[in-house]
Structure 1
């Protein structure tokens, strides 16, 4: 089975709104030939998914923190 290289994975991920790192990790996990390499890429994909979920929350907390600081200082 042929798999996309990393550059192609990014080109596919962007228009579909998928996370680049997670897409690359999943393709590399499928492409991995040995049992040691698969868990590595599976972990990278999982971390990318967690980061993707937490990024909007961190942004929200950061923006509220800046507003609170402005109110207190200003």
Structure 2
């Protein structure tokens, strides 16, 4: 089986990848550690919405220099 880089996936493939519990942890955890329920709830909540639906332009204008110090140090 050939593996693809996440950068090679189309939008639907990437979504499916990120909605799998196995995509977040590569160590063996007990079965009660499952992200599946949380991922399903997130998927249901945000399904059909675009990234623009989550931006508040008024709040975003106050964040112009948020990462400047972090990146430059």
What is the TM-score with the length of structure 2 in the denominator? 0.34
What is the TM-score with the length of structure 1 in the denominator? 0.34
Based on CA coordinates, which of the two structures has the bigger radius of gyration?
A: 1
